[in-house]
A and B are shown apart, each in its own frame.
Chain A
Amino acid sequence: MSQVAPHLPHKGGGETNRYATPAPSVEAVRRMLRLNGVEVADTFAEAFPMAAARVVVTAASAEWAMTAARAATGYAASVIGCDAEAGIEWELPPEVLDATPDGRPGVSLLFFAFSRDALQRAVVNRVAQCVLTCPTTACYNGLAGDPDRSIRVGGNLRFFGDGWQISKFLGGKRYWRLPVMDGEFLCEDVFGTVKGVAGGNLILLAESQAAGLAAAEAAAAAARAAGGVILPFPGGVVRSGSKVGSKYKALRASTNDAYCPTLRGVVPSELPAGANAAYELVIDGLDLAAVEEAMRGAMVAASECPGVVKITAGNYGGKLGPHHIHLRKLIEAG
């Protein structure tokens, strides 16, 4: 009575798994790109232009400035699902002379969006909900941009003052003072924007999750040190890299199965032998040079970490983004 399942062809033992990573040819090994002994894929990261703004948030203490900064840049990992990509560029300690316009501790934030209009909406909403509301803060423009390409931030928030807002015009800049319950919220009227570069990225393939994470942390720190960049994902490290499209029609993006270790052997995998975890760094910068410098620093830092098997980058075949950042050029430039 029992039905015997038909015999499934056994894939192991001499037969080749059609999804297994092919061994590199001798020629390929000879031409292989290496950095501190770690293999680097001869590929490129594909990046896009995005409108960018720099917002300087200050407060009575570094802690409150950071609280406002974290809130204002929260839920801003990717424009796939958020109104903007945002992150903390660096802290501006008061010990550094003239680091902030009012001499108080501050944090510099970068915001990226697909258009200037979208950027203005995102920055105004985020400053309104997360900075204006936060005790003792003030908010300044951090980019000397072209006045024709600026976004209006304080000029939109001023209406919260219900007629009691006060404008101050000083040194060619307009500021708005809004009466709030702990005194005044001070916000610059317009903020400059530049055409930034978003989507710079690196993918680190490592022997284990722990080794990969340690390398990703080191790489993220090195990338941030370049300045003029943010890593918009939590902690600067992405564990759920995505590919374009999905089997589900409603979804525009889905998990990047080629880098999922649990799917090796089931789907065409990009993971070489010995790699059991992958982490991605996504880098947005005020210009291409900043993104390149950050990627270069991150690659060097990652290559110095134990357990890193390979460093590669994500692209869409070069069809979508105008900026192709070749890892080979980054290494050769360094």
Chain B
Amino acid sequence: MGVTLTLRAPSPIPIEVFGVTPERVANLSAAEVAKLPVQHGNRSEPLGEFFDVTGSRFADLHFAGDTRTVKGIGAGMAGGSVYVQGDAGMHAGAGMTGGTLVIVGRAGDWLGAELRGGTIEVRGSVDGRCGAAYRGSRRGMTGGLIQVRGSAGDELGLLMRRGLIVIEGGCGAFAGASMIAGTIVVFGPAGPRLGAGMKRGTIVAAGGVAELPPSFAHACDYNPTFLELYQAELAGLRAEYPWRLPAVVRSYRGDLLYGGRGEVLVPVTSAARPAASLRG
């Protein structure tokens, strides 16, 4: 049993729990955990003002209660595990370097923003800028794994450099925009402007894509061996993994404005016919 933080009442004012990480609470008693500072609006308050704390001295943190407005859950954690029984607010898992974050509900904007390592699993959907770079930053996610069973919002994996993002639902506009490298897999329908400005990297739009930027060129239809390795990796995520990557894909190279070393792979059987296919 880990350390459980139960939010007594939902707070219309966001509560920021940056710094309340598994490794931080691992050596603290429940009373000491309750004294950790959290930000409530513009004021710093002890955590115990809002949360009931049970358990102690475990690098395993549970969040219970209506945590929709709790920001920064698991942000910056380097190890251990965080489990959120409900929804998580913005910035959950942002800047993580290791460990495991599981969110049973949905997650707000900036989930796993600038992730460095570790794994994040969201069983609901996520809002925008998942795994993205913060404004002004040069790199988004540079390692680790984000898997979302629901859908994702806009700017998924913006400026991503390394790692794997798997969205089992669809995604909004500008997924993988300005991507530097790494891999994004979207099983549902992908929004417009997918991969705009991408330099390298792979976006597998297994559910098809509404529209590609015109700076993508059709390369070929082929059967890439490396996707089998990703399929094996996905199959290890949970028992009876329901999703199957396409065996034969249509490859589009781009963004040609940035060298064309990136690729968007869509299933050949995809009903959606990308605008860029006219170029092939």
Contacts and interface: CB of A to CB of B under 8 A. Distances in A.
Interface stretch (A73-81, A168-176, A236-244, A298-306): A168-176
Nearest to A163: B261
A184 B232 contact: no
B222 A183 contact: yes
A170 B143 CA distance: 10
A280 to B, nearest CB: 40
A171 B233 contact: yes
B89 to A, nearest CB: 30
B232 A175 contact: no
B164 interface: yes
B232 A186 contact: no
A168 B232 contact: no
Interface string A99-116: 001111000000000000
Nearest to A182: B222
Interface residues of B, number: 20
A168 B226 contact: yes
Nearest to B143: A169
11 contacts: A58-B225, A98-B232, A102-B225, A103-B231, A104-B228, A166-B263, A168-B202, A170-B183, A171-B229, A186-B225, A186-B226
B200 to A, nearest CB: 7
Contacts of A58: 225
A38 interface: no
A138 B225 contact: yes
Contact of A101 (B202, B224, B229): B229
Contact of B223 (A98, A164, A171, A183): A183
A175 B228 contact: no
Contact of A170 (B222, B223, B224, B233): B233
Contact of A184 (B181, B200, B224, B230): B224
B226 A175 contact: yes
B162 interface: yes
Contacts of B202: 166, 168
A166 B200 contact: yes
Say what secondary structure dominates the interface of chain B: mixed
Contacts of B263: 166
Nearest to A171: B233
Interface of B: 162, 164, 181, 183, 200, 202, 220, 222-226, 228-233, 261, 263
B200 A175 contact: no
Given A101-B229, A103-B228, A169 B200 contact: no
Nearest to B182: A169
A169 B229 CA distance: 11
B225 A184 contact: yes
Contacts of B229: 101-102, 168, 170-171, 175, 186
A281 B173 CA distance: 65
A101 B233 CA distance: 10
A126 interface: no
A184 B223 CA distance: 9
Contacts of B222: 183-184
A171 B220 CA distance: 27
B100 to A, nearest CB: 16
Nearest to A98: B232
Contacts of B226: 168, 175, 177, 184, 186
A176 to B, nearest CB: 10
Interface residues of A, number: 19
Contacts of B230: 170
A174 to B, nearest CB: 10
Given A104-B228, A166-B261, A184-B226, 12 more contacts: A102-B225, A104-B225, A138-B225, A164-B261, A167-B181, A170-B230, A171-B229, A171-B233, A175-B226, A183-B223, A184-B224, A186-B226
Interface string A137-176: 0100000000000000000000000001011111100010
Interface in A177-209: 177, 183-184, 186
A46 to B, nearest CB: 42
B265 to A, nearest CB: 12
Contacts of B162: 169
Contact of A102 (B164, B181, B200, B228): B228
A184 B228 CA distance: 13
Contacts of A171: 229, 233
Nearest to B219: A179
Given A164-B261, A170-B229, A175-B229, A183 B183 contact: no
A102 B228 CA distance: 5
A12 B226 CA distance: 73
Most A CB atoms within 10 A — which of B224, B225, B226, B228?
B225
Nearest to A176: B226
Contacts of A164: 261
Interface in A298-330: none
Nearest to A60: B223
Contacts of A166: 200, 202, 261, 263
A68 to B, nearest CB: 14
Interface in A238-288: none
Most A CB atoms within 10 A — which of B181, B224, B228?
B228
B268 to A, nearest CB: 14
A197 B86 CA distance: 57
Contact of A103 (B200, B220, B232, B233): B232
B220 to A, nearest CB: 8
A166 B183 CA distance: 11
Contacts of B233: 170-171
A272 B229 CA distance: 56
Nearest to B235: A98
